[in-house]
Every structure is written in C-alpha cells, then in structure tokens.
C-alpha cells in the first residue's frame, strides 16, 4: 500500500503538468497536432492510474486541449471521477472540466446527480460554490428537476456567498424545468429584500430576466421594484430594474406615468453612461407606450434627444453608436424631435466606422420628408460613390430604395427623378441587388401611370446600352434590371419614340449571353414591340418599313430558337412562326396590325404580394382531393415540364439546372487545376494581374462617355459616368433634355425653371405631374396585415406562468426522502415547512393564511363570492379527511382562498393611483387628461377585471367635483358601477385605520407588504397618510413614509415636517441641525398632486409603543394670496410597526 | 450574456465560457466566425456589432480581445463594464496581468470569471469580494500549483507581452 503511494508520487513527478503541456505546445509550433496526439496518449495512461492527483492533472490538461478544439468527450467519466474527489483542489478542477466539456448530450451527466447534491449540501461553502458554478453551465432538464429543491434550500443559506449563487442559478433551473418556477418564486421574491446587497442584486437579476420575457406575470411586483429603484444606488441593479420597467410599462401605462419623473431625475443626475443609456431607453419605451401625449412628455423626449445628441457628439465611437441606436427608437414615435438633428446624423454618414454609418443610415429612413428626400438621396449617392467594399455599398443601395419607396412612395414628388436614380444605381459595380432595382422599376412603371413615358424612354436607353451592364461578368447581378427594362419597353411600347431602334437593341446577338429568364422576356417583348411597329406603319402607303421589321425578326429569332433554355426556345419558335405568317400576309398587302396588337391587348394590374394567400377557399372545395384519378409516378414526371409557363418558372428551372452542373463543374475545375499545377509549361494567372482586369472602375468610364456623346438624341439618359457630380449632372441633363422637348411638354417647363434655382425649391412645389399611384389588388375583405406568430422554439415561452395563482401540491418540487442532515439555519427551518412532508391538514390551513397578499388571480375575482362559500365547505372536508386531501389536488387548489387575490390587484392599483401624478388627483384639475388616463387604463390589456376597483378613487372624487367631469367619463363610470357593489373604497377618508386597507371581503388577511398606509392627519388643504417600516440594514432605525396629498386648488409650498422627539424615538435630522428643527419636505405640491417623503427615526426600544406629536407647516399659495397653514398630527409607533415586513411563506 | 471568448490578436482562443448549451461543433463554428469578424475590424471602430440575432461587445486589451455576446435588449455599456471589471480582477490577481498569465493559468482565469459571473449574469459587483473568495478558495488548494505558477512566470518563453493598459 505504502509502496503504491510512493509510486504514485514518483509517477507524478515525471508527469507533465498543465504548464509543461502549454510550454510544449508552444515549442512544437510546426508539428503541433503530432505533439498533442502524443500528449493525449500520455493523458490516457494517466487516467488509468488510481492516483486522483494524477487524474486531476490529466483532466486539467484535457480541459486546456478542449479549448484548443480537441475532442475530449471520451474522458467524460474521468471528469466525473475527479469531480467526486473529496479534496477541493481536485473537485475544483473536475467541476471546471465538466462545465467546459459537458453539454446536454453528455450521457454521464445523470451519474453526477448524487455527487452534486452531496456537494451542494457540503459544510464547506467553497465546495457548494464550485458545484453551483459548474451546474450553471451544464444543467440539464433532469438535473434541474432533481436538484431544484436543493438549490431552493440554498437560497436561504446562512452565507450570502452561497445565497447569491443559488439565486442566480435558479434562473437556469427555471429555463430547464419550468415547473419549478411557481414553487420557488415566493422565496425568490423574498430575496429581493435580502440584507446582503449581492444576494439582492442577484434576485433582481433573475426576476428581471424572467420578467423581461413574460412581463405580464410580474406586474404585481412593480411597487416593490419601484421602491428598490428609488432607494438603490447600485448602478448594476438600477440598470436591471429600469430595464424591467421598460418591459412592464407597455402593459400598464399608469406605471409609465409614475416612472417618468424618477427616470428623468436619474438622467439628469447620473454620471454613469450605461445607466444614462438604460434610462433613456426605458423613457423611450415608456413614452411609446403612453403614446397619447401628456404635456410634459415632449419635455422628456427633448431631454432624451438632447442627451443622445451629447452621446452622438462624443468622441467615443461606442457612445456615438449607441446614441444613434437609441435615436432610431425615438424616431418611430417622435420623428419630429429627431428630424431637428438631421445635421448631426448626416455628419455621421461620413464617420470612419462603418457600423456607425450603418446606424446613421437607419435613422435617415425616418428623417426624410417630401422636402428633403432629394437632398438626402443626393448625399447618399455621393456616399455610394465613395464607399469601399461592396457590403456597405449594397447597404446604401437598399437604403436608398427603402427610403424612396417607403409608405407607398409617400415622399417622392418627382418620379422622373426617382427613375433616374434607379437607372444610376444600375451602374454600381458588382451589386447583388439588381433584382431589387428591377422590381422597383417595374413597380413604379406599372403603378404610376403618368411616369410611363419617361420610364420607357429611360429603359430604352438602358436596353440600348445593355453591353455596359453585361460587359463585365462580375456585374451579373445587375442584369436583372434588363428584365425590367425589356418588359417595360414592351408592355408600354406605345410611349416609345423609336420602337424600331429598341426592337433592334433587344435582338442583338449579345442578348443570347444573358440568363435564360431574361432572354425569355426579351423575346416575348420583342413581339410586343413588333406589334407596335406594325401599327405605327399601318396605313402608310409604303409598307417597306413594316416589312423590314418582320425581316429583322425572322433574321434574329432563330438565335433564340436554338437557346438551351426551354422557355426561350418555346417562345422564340412560336413567335418566329407567327412573324413568318405575318410576313406572308404583308406581302399580300393585308392589314394585320390590329390583329397582331390584339395579341397583347388589355391592361395588367398590379396584385398585392399577399393577395394570393388571402383568397378564401370557396366552400366545398377540397384542394387536396384528386381531380382525376392519381396518375402513375412516371406519368406525373412526364407532365411536369409542360406546366412550366409562369414567369418565375424559368428562373426555377435554371437554378436547378446549374445546381446539377455546378457540382460537375467544380469537379472538373478541380481536376483541371491539379493538372495545371503539375504542368510546368502552364503559366498561372497571378492574382494581381487578374485584378488589373477586374478593376473596372477605371475601365468603363471612357466607354460611357463615348456612348453618351453619340446618342444624345436619346432623351433622359442620366450622365452618371462620374458619380461625384451625379446629382448636378442629372439635373443638367434633364434640363437639356427638356429644352428639346419644350414644345411638347409645356407643363414641365414651369417646373424646370424652378429646378434651376436649386433642389430645395424644387421640392417645395407640388408633384410635377398628377401622380396616380395604383394600389395593389387584394381579394375582397382581405387585409394586407401580417399575422405571423412568435417563434415557438423560444425556451422562455415555457416560463410564461401565472405566478400569482396559488400553489397546488402537485407543483411542489420533488424532494428526496432520505436526505442527509443539513445544517439548520433559521431560514432553513422555514424551508422545511414548505416541503410537503408535513401533514396535509396543517399545510392546507396555513397555506390559506400565508398565501394571501402574495397570490392573486384576477380571473377569479369575479367569482369570489361563490368561491367563498365553496371554500368553507371544502375546508371542513380537508380537516376531516387529511389523507384524502393528498389526492384531491385540484379541489385543494380551488380551496385556497382566491379572495386575497383581488387584494393584491387593488394594491397595485392603489400604488399606481397614489403616484406623484396620480390619475385620480389629476382629474380634479385637468379633466381632459384624466379622460386620457381613463381610456388608456381601459386599453391596458387584461386590466379589465380590475376596472371596478380602479375606478373607485376617481369616483370618490367625482362626487366632489362633478361639475368638472366630462360626460364621457360618466358613461364609463356607470358601466363600471354595475360591477362594483361588493367592494368598498380604499380611499374612504373618514375611516382612518381601515381606510387604505383595500376593502376586499377578507378579514383574516395579513397586511400586504406594500402600501400599508394609515391616515396621519387631514384638513381642507392637505391629507397625509403614513406607513412605518423597519429597516433591514439598521435595526435601530425605522422609516416613516408619508404621502402628502394636496386636496386644495392652491399651490402648497415650503412644507416643513417636525416631530417632538421622545426619549425613545428621535427624528433623524441632518448634521448641525438642532433637536427641534423641522425638516423641509423636498418637494412642492401643485393642486391635486401627491408625493411621498421618507423620514428616518432612530428607535431605542421596540417594545415601547409611542405616540409622537408633530406638526406640518406649509404655505398655501393661491392666485390672490398666500397664507401660512399648519396641521398637527400624531404619529403612532406601535410595537408591530417595528417588525420587518418579510413575507412568510409556507 | 450568452458567452464570453478571449482570443489573441493571432486568433488563438485563450478562454471560452458558454452560458448557453451548444454542441461543440456549433461552438467551434461560432468561435471561428466571430474571431474572424472581430479581428477584421479596424481599431477605430466601435466595440459593438450585430451578429446573427445577438449583439457582440468586444474590447481589446493589449494583445487580447475580450468578446461577449449579449441579447438584443441587453445593455452594451454595462457589458463593456463587465469586461473591464474582469480585466481588473485578472490584473489584481496576477499583478500586472499579461497574456501569458492567462495561457499558463487558464484554470485560474476561469475560477475568477466564475466568481464574477454566474450563468451569464454578474453575481458580485464588488472586486474585493471576488478576490477574497478566490483567495480563500486558493488557500484550500494545494500549494503546488502556486510554485509552478511562479516558476513559469519567471521562465516564461520570450518577452512578456505588454501589460494591459488599464485606464480607469
């Protein structure tokens, strides 16, 4: 035995440790793979040994190799061995290896369950910590299920170190095992008030992550988080909470109102950019959800925009980027506020950083107006020219098109301009977006009838210069525009000035090099042009021209008849035969034009993209049923090619075609390359020489210039060979062109003169010509709206669980029955209570009491009364048959009192109402905004059942201020009144003690943790309610929260709060202040507003109930006068008020 | 946070921590893709980029890139802060940390990270507490590795890389 140990340690001395391995790898740079494979062999040997130290060392090395990309899954079992070592050194390495190497598919994971459980309950906190850390990386649904209860127990561990880890890992557990969420949630919520800031922040983290995904289940926590937000100084926590509020506000607009003020304060005060950014983001989210404008909102928006401007102007690229990002969110709802910063955003387009430029581009989208569209696009076109790299340029291209085409071409005043822009875009090198440009051309030409003449002229030029687009193989993407050009020229050929020339251009031999689907369009539209030419020459005595055209077609079409593309071939041969027949008729001097034109008669209307989907299937039509008997398989294959006739089809077959070919081609190319490489006589093309050929920017420019100088008779050709002067040249071109057409188009002349004075003035005028944008056709009653669902695979979807519903026994987490003794902390005792090992009778009863205040179920609040009767019966049942209760889980769930549920709902409402700017109080002074509140709260999703309670405070007031009410409100109230009879007010002022207790039916109910306010004092000016809370951090202090509510029509200011100290309880005054000095309340109250202030008292003994006399002095300022007023009060410190309100759970 | 990667200017992975379950193949693919993308960026560019449906936040310290993937709603600036905080922790722990420290003591770098982040969320915002936890855990560990560590630091091959510029 001893020998074995000695041998082990000797072995170890000769082993490589991790450092040796790393060094070895660095020394074997040339044959790294070989070196590592020998190392792996060594490691395998080491793993075979019994010595755990050797094994751990081996596992550690494996972890390193895993990072380098080597497969170490074969060692999974050894990792488990090292994990289960009793020594922390090895355990640590084992867990690290596991967390790096294990994943859900690792089968040995299930072997670890018991080991992990043992480590979790280890007396050494670092064992537990290491197990938790590891678990967070490789937790599987099985592990989550088996260990959920153990981890939940750890959430109440004595050591904050463990508590915070346990809290954080719960999130992973929830994701893997959603059933654990409801049982664990009360404990988690409790941790929000943990004395340790780390644990608290962990709990905030987890709940925020949960709530972000499914906000509606966490709405009831809003008051708690609000309190945390106003009290916390930890930026990490603040950011999370603020983010959470961002997710909650869309569900509860009143919350948004409450938030605006603290958030704007934070924005003003914080120096941390991350916090500032988060606040701005949430304010934006709030304002979006509040959409209906309250007067001071524009101020908040302005503040945000200002702050963002500062970010954007900052020299730090990161802040610049984020500023732009946030700006784009504001843009959606408040485009005006952003538009005023156009200068800054345009400036960002010149930034060195591409990502910043892209962000700025996003913003441009929303900044265009009819006035500035051309200006902005001009700027973008300049950027297109300067842009390096095709990605950014393509992005620019799509943005230009997006900007122009947005909301049905809303901002385009001059479509001629737009067409020219599109034509200019076709000159882009190697863009992938030819298709996009083409579809825009088609769309505009089809839908804007007035532009067709111009469009056709431009397209004719494009066709004429097609060689520019196709000349370079790299520019293949752009060929697509020829598809559009050919179609437009053909379809609207009546606008062509010289159809004969265009026809000639479309039948050039070079066309045969274009992709098949484009050729097909060429052929088809050549026929259309042919018809136009015929008609043009009809009636002329000399039929020579018409016959010439026929001859041209007969000469050129055979080229297409030979095409490899089926579509082209078929169309070409059809048309060829047709033309031959027509030629015969022409020779006999028969008039054919009309009949040929009839081939293409009728107008094509645009159809909305979704129209097809929206056509309802007629009743009785079964699309899956066979019309004929199912044909045999071979037959169906034969039939398929015949169906190829739709426009899209040729593309389809083409791609299929190339796909097959490409493999073959690649193989051949590979073979050829190999051959060439081995051939010493073969001169290989160096990449640089290729570049010379491919750098087409320089090459094509002179060609364009020549081209343009010659066919100046073609009108509307934009001179875009030099992008730098692009816009100006276009205008000059247009000018020149219009001068020629002056006589024809008088209408345009007026416009053109204005164009001379600069682009701005041009935009001021109404659209150049009456533009009729044809809307796309849709089937009747169909809406173009989208109805897409969310991603069903989202893991967070499973966590959409109603947390307020009472727990059923079936939901309790699985517990091992024979658990090793764990050290007991007071917290843990409570834990054990929650474990359903106890008699069901007891838990049944206690649950009822303890759940209240935490649980609510809005749906049930309606059925309250009925349920209550039910409950009593059920209760008896439970008590008499405890065993039975185990089985009847469902009955039990029903039995847990739903009454308390409405308590929490109204609690939230109360909290929301007593906001600094509460809707109820607002009503008194500003009826119109109150109306807005009313409608907005009614619009809030799922707040329907609460409405009755919701309306109450407003109603109380309404009796006093009836005159000011609007009719609309009254109507709404009346509706609500019907439902309300069984609640009573929580604002009833006279009641003192029970006034604020939300007046739901339940009496045995415990005090809700929040908003447990009692009336302190009241007169005609002001009302004070207060709440006393113990302090977690400092037991000798209590915090008294006082809500001051201005009941008068005057302004209350200079409020001073003073209390006559007793020996036992003293008001905490700022340093230097005398013992009898009063504290200034840090705010003023406009009419109808309430706000909350906190006063800290130090307390000597908590067993002495106290009554402290105090006075509030204040100045009432009305229009005419200001008077000094005071209000006396007595502050009750009962013994129970010192209790820290930690909610208890079963 | 979905994952954190540390890699060198040469594109060598130095540390990886995944907070979402992914297969090895996928991890490798993501790593390769991201390392390429990030290394291709110019030094003057901002530290954020959109990648798939995630946001990538990276920062370069001397020869090492620290790269985190966060979700759409997450705060980029706080992520930068996390990275910086981690670098500070490494710096405090190793004393003027350099890339070699992380290479030769990669398990320590993981331990520190694990004390700082758990499941992708910051678990401890106090530097002091993190270091305290690490030191106490180290005390439990045998000394042998410490000896090796000093040995290595002294004899490390080549010149030490420049110490991370820590401007606070």
Reported as a single tens digit per residue, the pLDDT across A41-67 is 888 888 888 888 888 888 888 888 888
A867 pLDDT higher than 90: no
Kindly report the pTM of this predicted structure: 0.60
A1089 pLDDT higher than 60: yes
Helices (H), A270-353: 273-290, 297-313, 317-333, 335-339, 342-348
Query: CA of B135 to nearest chain A CA: how many angstroms apart?
Result: 11
Residues A660-680: what's their mean pLDDT? 66
Search chain A and give the residue with CA nearest B19.
A137
Do A96 and B23 count as a contact with CB atoms less than 8 A apart?
A: no
**pLDDT: is A469 or A872 the higher one?**
A469
What local confidence, expressed as pLDDT, does residue A1133 receive?
79
Domain residue limits, chain A = 1014-1133
- Decide: A1017 and A1114 in contact? Cβ < 8 Å: no
- Decide: A1013 and A1080 in contact? Cβ < 8 Å: no
What local confidence, expressed as pLDDT, does residue A576 receive?
92
What local confidence, expressed as pLDDT, does residue A675 receive?
64
Q: How far apart are CA A399 and CA A407, in angstroms?
A: 14
- Decide: A367 and A331 in contact? Cβ < 8 Å: yes
Q: Which residues of B touch A209 (CB under 8 A)?
A: 121
Query: CA of B17 to nearest chain A CA: how many angstroms apart?
Result: 7
DSSP tag of B96: S
Give pLDDT tens digits for A775-785. Answer: 666 666 655 55
Give the pLDDT band (50/70/90) at residue A470: low
Query: CA of A171 to nearest chain B CA: how many angstroms apart?
Result: 8
What local confidence, expressed as pLDDT, does residue A821 receive?
42
What local confidence, expressed as pLDDT, does residue A661 receive?
60
Give the rounded distance of the alpha carbon of A819 from its chain centre: 45
Give the pLDDT band (50/70/90) at residue B7: very high
- Decide: A248 and A259 in contact? Cβ < 8 Å: no
Give me the residue from B24, B45, B124 closest to A355, CB to CB: B45
What local confidence, expressed as pLDDT, does residue A726 receive?
47
Point out which residues pair with A1039 in neighbouring strands.
A1029, A1096
Residues B34-40: what's their mean pLDDT? 91
Residues A362-378: what's their mean pLDDT? 82
Q: What's the token pair of residue B79?
A: 């992520």
Handedness of CA A1032, A1037, A1038, A1040 (dihedral sign): negative
Half-sphere exposure of residue A264: CA atoms within 13 angstroms, side-chain side: 18
B64 pLDDT higher than 70: yes
Give me the residue from B19, B46, B110 closest to A321, CB to CB: B46
What local confidence, expressed as pLDDT, does residue A1028 receive?
81
Give me the residue from B44, B76, B118 closest to A353, CB to CB: B44
Percent of residues in chain A assigned helix, strand, coil, to nearest 5: 65, 5, 30
**Quick check: helix, strand or coil at residue A70?**
coil
A645 pLDDT higher than 80: no
User: For chain A, what's the residue count?
Assistant: 1146
Give pLDDT tens digits for A537-588. Answer: 877 766 788 888 888 889 989 989 988 889 999 999 999 999 999 888 888 8
In a domain, residue B165? The reply is no
Residues B52-60: what's their mean pLDDT? 91
Question: What DSSP assignment string belongs to A183-233?
Answer: HHHHHHHHGGG-SSHHHHHHHHHHHHHHHHHSGGGGGGGHHHHHHHHHH--
**pLDDT: is A184 or A772 the higher one?**
A184
Return residues 82-121 of B near A (CB < 8 Å).
103-104, 106-107, 110-111, 114-115, 118-119, 121
Do A103 and B22 count as a contact with CB atoms less than 8 A apart?
A: yes
Give the rounded distance of the alpha carbon of A384 from its chain centre: 29
Do B19 and A105 count as a contact with CB atoms less than 8 A apart?
A: no
Residues A788-811: what's their mean pLDDT? 66
**pLDDT: is A640 or A704 the higher one?**
A640
Residues whose CB falls within 8 Å of the CB of residue A792, separated by 6 or more in sequence, listed in order:
none
What local confidence, expressed as pLDDT, does residue A1101 receive?
76
CB count in 10 Å sphere of residue A324: 26
Please give the mean pLDDT across all residues of chain A: 71
A983 pLDDT higher than 80: no
Do B46 and A277 count as a contact with CB atoms less than 8 A apart?
A: no
Domain hosting B144: range is: 3-157
Search chain A and give the residue with CA nearest B57.
A318
Domains identified in chain B, total number: 1
Give pLDDT tens digits for A1029-1078. Answer: 777 667 677 888 888 888 888 888 888 888 888 877 888 887 777 777 88
**b/e map A1043-1057, b = 16+ CB within 10 Å:** bbbbbbebbbeebeb
Return residues 1-60 of B near A (CB < 8 Å).
13-19, 21-24, 28, 42, 44-49
Q: Which residues of B touch A356 (CB under 8 A)?
A: 46
A78 pLDDT higher than 70: yes
Which helix (DSSP H) or strand (DSSP E) does residue A1096 occupy? strand A1090-1099
What local confidence, expressed as pLDDT, does residue A497 receive?
85
Give me the residue from A103, A171, A274 closest to B119, CB to CB: A171
CATH topology of domain A1014-1133: Immunoglobulin-like (2.60.40)
Question: pLDDT exceeding 70 applies to what percent of chain A?
Answer: 64
Question: What DSSP assignment string belongs to A368-407?
Answer: --TTTHHHHHHHHHHHHHH--SHHHHHHHHHHHHHHHHHH
Give the pLDDT band (50/70/90) at residue A950: very low
What local confidence, expressed as pLDDT, does residue A905 receive?
57
In a domain, residue B163? The reply is no
Q: Domain containing B116 — which CATH number?
A: 3.30.450.60
**Quick check: helix, strand or coil at residue B61?**
strand
Q: How far apart are CA A439 and CA B116, in angstroms?
A: 53
């Amino acid at each position: 035995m001893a020998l074995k140990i000695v041998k082990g340690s000797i072995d170890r001395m000769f082993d490589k440790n991790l450092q040796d391995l790393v060094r070895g790898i660095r020394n074997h740079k040339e044959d790294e793979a070989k070196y590592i494979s020998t190392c792996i062999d060594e490691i395998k040997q080491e793993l075979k040994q019994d010595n755990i130290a050797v094994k751990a060392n081996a596992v550690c090395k494996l972890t390193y190799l895993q990072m380098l990309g080597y497969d170490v899954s074969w060692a999974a079992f050894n990792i488990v061995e090292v994990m289960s070592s009793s020594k922390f050194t090895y355990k640590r390495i084992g867990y690290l290896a596991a967390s790096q190497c294990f994943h859900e598919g690792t089968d040995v994971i299930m072997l670890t369950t018991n080991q992990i459980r043992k480590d979790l309950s280890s007396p050494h906190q670092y064992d537990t910590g290491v197990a938790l850390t590891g678990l967070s990386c490789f937790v599987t649904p099985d592990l989550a299920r088996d260990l959920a209860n153990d981890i939940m127990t750890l959430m109440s561990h004595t050591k904050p170190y463990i508590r915070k880890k346990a809290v954080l890992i719960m999130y992973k557990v929830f994701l893997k095992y959603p059933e654990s969420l409801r049982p664990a949630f009360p404990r988690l919520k409790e941790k929000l008030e943990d004395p340790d800031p780390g644990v608290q922040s962990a709990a905030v983290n987890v709940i925020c992550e949960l709530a972000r995904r499914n906000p509606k289940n966490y709405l009831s926590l809003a008051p708690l988080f609000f309190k945390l937000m106003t009290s916390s100084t930890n930026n990490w926590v603040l950011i999370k909470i603020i983010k959470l509020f961002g997710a909650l506000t869309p569900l509860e607009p009143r919350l948004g109102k409450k938030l605006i003020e603290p958030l704007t304060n934070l924005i003003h005060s914080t120096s941390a950019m991350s916090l500032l950014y988060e606040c701005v983001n949430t304010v934006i989210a709030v304002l979006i959800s509040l959409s209906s404008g309250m007067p001071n909102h524009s101020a908040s928006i302005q503040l945000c925009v200002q702050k963002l401007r500062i970010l954007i102007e900052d020299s730090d690229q990161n802040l610049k980027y984020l500023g732009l990002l946030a700006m784009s969110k504001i843009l959606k709802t408040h485009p005006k506020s952003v538009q005023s910063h156009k200068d800054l955003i345009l400036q960002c387009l010149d930034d060195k950083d591409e990502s910043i430029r892209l962000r700025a581009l996003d913003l441009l989208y929303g900044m265009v107006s009819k006035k500035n569209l051309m200006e902005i696009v001009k700027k973008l076109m300049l950027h297109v020219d300067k842009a390096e790299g095709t990605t950014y340029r393509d992005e620019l291209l799509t943005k230009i098109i997006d900007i122009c085409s947005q909301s049905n071409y809303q901002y385009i005043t001059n479509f001629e301009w737009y067409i020219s822009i599109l034509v200019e875009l076709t000159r882009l090198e190697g863009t992938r977006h030819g298709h996009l440009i083409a579809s825009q051309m088609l769309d505009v030409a089809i839908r804007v009838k007035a532009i067709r003449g111009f469009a056709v002229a431009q397209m004719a030029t494009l066709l004429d210069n097609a060689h520019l687009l196709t000349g370079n193989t790299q520019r293949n993407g752009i060929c697509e525009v020829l598809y559009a050009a050919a179609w437009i020229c053909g379809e609207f050929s009546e606008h062509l000035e010289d159809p004969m020339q265009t026809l000639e251009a479309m039948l050039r031999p070079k066309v045969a090099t274009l992709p098949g689907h484009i050729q097909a369009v060429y052929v088809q539209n050549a026929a259309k042009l042919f018809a136009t030419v015929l008609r043009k020459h009809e009636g002329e005595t000399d039929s020579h021209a018409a016959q010439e055209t026929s001859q041209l077609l007969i000469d050129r079409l055979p080229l297409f008849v030979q095409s490899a593309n089926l579509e082209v071939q078929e169309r070409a041969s059809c048309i060829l035969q047709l033309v031959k027949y027509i030629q015969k008729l022409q020779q006999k001097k028969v008039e054919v034009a009309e009949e040929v034109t009839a081939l293409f008669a009728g107008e094509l209307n645009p159809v909305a993209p979704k129209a097809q989907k929206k056509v309802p299937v007629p009743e009785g039509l079964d699309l899956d049923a066979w019309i004929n008997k199912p044909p045999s398989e071979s037959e169906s294959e034969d039939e398929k090619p015949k169906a190829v006739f739709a426009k899209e089809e040729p593309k389809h077959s083409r791609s299929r075609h190339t796909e097959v070919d490409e493999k073959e081609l690649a193989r051949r190319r590979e073979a050829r390359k190999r051959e060439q490489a081995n051939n010493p006589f073969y001169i290989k093309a160096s990449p640089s020489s290729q570049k010379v050929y491919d750098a087409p920017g320089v090459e094509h420019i002179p060609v364009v210039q020549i081209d343009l100088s010659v066919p100046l008779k073609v009108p509307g050709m934009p001179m875009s060979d030099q992008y730098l002067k692009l816009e100006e040249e276009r205008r000059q071109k247009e000018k020149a062109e219009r001068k020629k057409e002056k006589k024809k188009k008088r209408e345009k002349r007026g416009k053109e003169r204005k164009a001379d004075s600069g682009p701005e003035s041009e935009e001021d005028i109404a659209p150049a010509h009456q533009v009729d944008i044809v809307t796309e056709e849709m089937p009747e009653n169909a809406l173009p709206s989208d109805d897409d669902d969310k991603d069903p695979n989202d893991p967070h979807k499973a966590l959409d669980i109603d947390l307020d519903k009472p727990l059923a026994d079936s939901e309790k987490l699985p517990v091992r029955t024979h658990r090793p003794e764990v050290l007991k902390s007071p917290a843990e005792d409570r834990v054990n209570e929650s474990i359903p090992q106890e008699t069901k009778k007891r838990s049944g009863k206690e649950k009822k009491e303890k759940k209240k205040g935490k649980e609510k179920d809005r749906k049930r609040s309606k059925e309250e009364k009925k349920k209550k009767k039910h409950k009593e019966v059920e209760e008896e049942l439970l008590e008499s048959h405890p065993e039975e209760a185990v089985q009847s889980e469902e009955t039990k769930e029903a039995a847990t009192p739903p009454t308390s549920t409405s308590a929490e709902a109204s609690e939230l409402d109360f909290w929301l109402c007593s906001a600094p700017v509460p809707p109820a109080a607002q009503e008194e002074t500003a009826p119109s905004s109150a109306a807005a509140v009313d409608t907005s709260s009614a619009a809030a999703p799922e707040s329907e059942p609460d409405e009755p309670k919701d309306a109450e405070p407003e109603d109380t007031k309404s009796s006093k201020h009836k005159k000011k009410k609007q009719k609309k409100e009254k109507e709404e109230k009346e509706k609500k009144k019907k439902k309300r009879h069984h609640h009573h007010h929580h604002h009833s002022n006279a009641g003192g003690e029970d006034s604020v207790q939300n007046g739901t039916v339940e009496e045995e109910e415990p005090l809700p943790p929040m908003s447990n306010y009692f009336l302190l004092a009241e007169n005609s000016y002001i009302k004070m309610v207060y709440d006393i809370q113990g302090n977690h951090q400092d037991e000798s202090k209590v915090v008294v929260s006082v809500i001051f509510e201005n009941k008068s029509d005057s302004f209350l200011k200079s409020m001073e709060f003073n209390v006559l100290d007793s020996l036992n309880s003293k008001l905490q005054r700022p340093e230097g202040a005398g013992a009898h000095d009063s504290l200034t309340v840090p705010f003023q109250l406009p009419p109808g507003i309430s706000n909350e202030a906190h006063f800290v008292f130090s307390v000597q003994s908590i067993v002495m109930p106290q009554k402290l006399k105090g006075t509030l002095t204040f100045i009432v300022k009305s229009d005419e006068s200001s008077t000094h007023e005071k209000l006396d009060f007595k502050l009750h410190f009962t013994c129970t008020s010192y209790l820290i309100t930690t909610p208890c759970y079963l | 946070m979905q994952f954190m990667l540390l890699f060198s200017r040469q594109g060598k992975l130095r540390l990886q921590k995944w907070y979402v379950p992914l297969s090895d193949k996928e991890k490798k693919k993501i790593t390769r893709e991201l390392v390429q993308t990030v290394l291709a960026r110019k030094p003057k560019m901002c530290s954020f980029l959109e990648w798939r449906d995630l946001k990538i936040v990276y920062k370069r310290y001397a020869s090492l890139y620290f790269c985190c993937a966060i979700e759409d709603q997450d705060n980029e600036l706080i992520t930068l802060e996390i990275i910086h905080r981690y670098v500070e922790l490494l710096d405090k722990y190793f004393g003027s940390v350099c890339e070699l420290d992380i290479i030769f003591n990669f398990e320590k770098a993981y331990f520190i990270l694990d004390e700082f982040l758990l499941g992708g969320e910051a678990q401890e915002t106090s530097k002091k507490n993190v270091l305290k936890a690490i030191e106490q855990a180290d005390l439990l560990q045998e000394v042998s590795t410490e000896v090796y560590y000093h040995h290595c630091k002294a004899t490390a091959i080549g010149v030490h890389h420049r110490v991370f510029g820590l401007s606070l």
